[in-house]
A and B are shown apart, each in its own frame.
Chain A
Amino acid sequence: MKALVWHGKEDIRCDTVTDPEIQDPRDAIIKVTSCAICGSDLHLFHNYIPGMLPGDIMGHETMGEVVEVGSGVDGKLKKGDRIVVPFTIICGECDQCKRGNFSVCETTNRKSHLAEKAFGHTTAGLFGYTHLTGGYPGGQAEYLRVPFADATHIKVPAGIPDEQLLFLSDIFPTGWQAAVQCDIEPTDTVAIWGCGPVGQMAIRSAILLGANQVIAIDCLPERLSMAEAGGATTINFESESVLERLEELTDGRGPEKCIDCVGMESHVMASLPDTLLDRAKQMVMVESDRPHVLREMIYVCRPGGIISVPGVYSGFSDMLPMGAFMNKGLTMRTGQTHVNRWTDDLLRRIEEGEIDPSFVITHTVPLSQGPEMYQVFRDKRDSCVKVVLKP
């Protein structure tokens, strides 16, 4: 089969690889009908997250049709079923899964010793996302083996196009969880840093959860226009001061809720010296992340407010203003997404026409063009916001 394979920094190739096989009775194989490039795939493309090996298949936003099931899938899936594959692999049986904390499933990371060393405890296995999270082959391929398939799936009905359902795999529940974690009240202003795909979903989620005002921060006109279309007031940080505009828009109080949809690769600008220093330190590997957004959020957030962090951070961040964080009594909530905790509700909202996540797709191309699209997406060429690949 064809698959997008990681060969090193900025080197992804469309290779011919062997087809996946059932390895465990709880496995299923799906024929991929649609998959997507996620913003967090770019961290792997840049080799900022340790634990990738040449030959790893990329991709964790995938859906398709079940073509083979293992003997232990227990009737929960059958050939021909149409499923979206959540990016977090879950067993559905461990203590964390029973609590709904699916992204920290204690069973599914087959290389848990690496995660324990890096994070202190293991987290769930993830598709196509380094050997720290199991080294599972990803879904930017023609076929995908889904481990623990009896639990790791979202069954979806026929009649709704892939484009509306695909993002149940990651970005839609990720944006949703980011907003839910904010405990949004009807009087709240929610400020969202980053208008990439997760930021766009967080904007819509904050609206659906009843925020009084949603403010979106980015520098790319196409992303800001999409944010505005979704009901946000926008701030272009290249032409305006984020701090001043947020003060202005909240009558000097600061936003009650802040969401970081940027993560470890925040924009580097000469006018923001901390971003230059972070970049230099990241280059010589004395700091793994560029946490400018975290610093800014802690500074502007209204005392007593909540900071939600769906953006990916990989290791160590310097110069976080813990004094402001502590004295303002802020709360920070973060984590990989507990996808299956949210998907029943989100699927219902899609079915009822409350939201159509396909609005974010700007490019649809065959899988074979995937490697070039990584570059287009990274460079923000052709006003690219979200790429869907068709195997």
Chain B
Amino acid sequence: MFHFSNIVRTKGDPKILAGGPSLKRPEDRLARALGWFSVGLGVVEFFAPRRVTETLGMEGHETLVRAFGVREILAGIMSLSVEKNAGLWARVGGDGLDAAALLSGLTADNPKKGNIALALLMVGGIAMLDYRAAQDTKPRRPPRDARRKLYPNRSGFPKGIESARTAAKQIAAHATAGRT
């Protein structure tokens, strides 16, 4: 990647010779992959709902599929953002909704119930990945009740605050005197 970035560098500016370790962990990469998958699936559901319902033998549910598409896109964008953990949990919730919707179509008279079973299997697998990624990308901010270091002695005024205030007052008094 950096070989490309070196090409666009202004002549004379430092170029990368050897890359250091990335801050990205495998779980961050998984979150990113799931985010793009979510966006892709959402686009398909939104723009080609009939293809989806036909494949699943669930004709007449195009509006629902389209709504699920919007949900997938939003969850995908969230998973790709700084707030990826929230996005991944949104995906876990979405997987539940997907499974419920698929189960409702798993009836004896559905000629495509084999496809539904396959889709359920996929949703189960993806849900496991989503859950794993959501667990592993928990924000590392300390909890609100965590013990924190306090800095009550760091005034920044070597001569003390009162001395700073007094000096300021003297300057203000001089300025006022100068104006009158």
Chain A residues near B (Cβ < 8 Å): 1, 3, 5, 7, 9-21, 23, 46, 53-55, 57, 110, 135, 137, 141, 145, 186, 200, 204, 207-210, 220-222, 225-226, 228-231, 238, 279, 283-284, 353-357, 359-360, 362, 368, 371-372, 374-375, 379-383, 385
Contacts and interface: CB of A to CB of B under 8 A. Distances in A.
Nearest to A10: B23
Contacts, number: 173
Contact of B12 (A21, A135, A362): A21
Nearest to B17: A16
Contacts of B9: 55
Interface of B is mostly: loop
Contacts of A283: 77-78, 81, 83
| Residues of B in contact with A, size category | 35 or more
A23 B141 contact: no
A210 B172 contact: yes
A355 B168 contact: no
Contact of A135 (B6, B10, B82, B152): B10
A293 B154 CA distance: 26
18 contacts: A7-B19, A9-B82, A10-B28, A11-B22, A15-B16, A15-B17, A18-B14, A46-B82, A207-B164, A222-B151, A225-B150, A226-B154, A228-B152, A229-B155, A284-B74, A356-B156, A359-B151, A371-B20
Contacts of A5: 16, 20
A376 to B, nearest CB: 9
Contacts of A238: 144
B164 A354 contact: yes
A135 B9 CA distance: 9
Given A54-B2, A209-B168, 12 more contacts: A10-B82, A16-B16, A17-B17, A23-B11, A53-B5, A55-B9, A229-B153, A231-B164, A355-B164, A357-B156, A374-B23, A379-B141
B154 to A, nearest CB: 4
Interface in B27-81: 28, 74, 77-78, 81
A257 to B, nearest CB: 15
B155 A208 contact: no
Given A54-B2, A221-B148, A383-B148, A355 B23 contact: no
Interface of B: 1-2, 4-6, 8-24, 28, 74, 77-78, 81-83, 139-142, 144, 148-159, 161, 164-165, 167-169, 171-172
A246 to B, nearest CB: 21
Contact of B16 (A9, A17, A46): A17
Nearest to B83: A283
B151 A225 contact: yes
Nearest to A283: B81
A16 B150 contact: no
Given A19-B14, A355-B164, A383 B155 contact: no
Given A208-B164, A222-B148, A228-B152, A55 B5 contact: yes
A375 B140 contact: yes
Nearest to B169: A210
B167 A354 contact: yes
B20 A16 contact: yes
Contact of A13 (B23, B83, B172): B23
Contact of B156 (A10, A13, A360, A374): A360
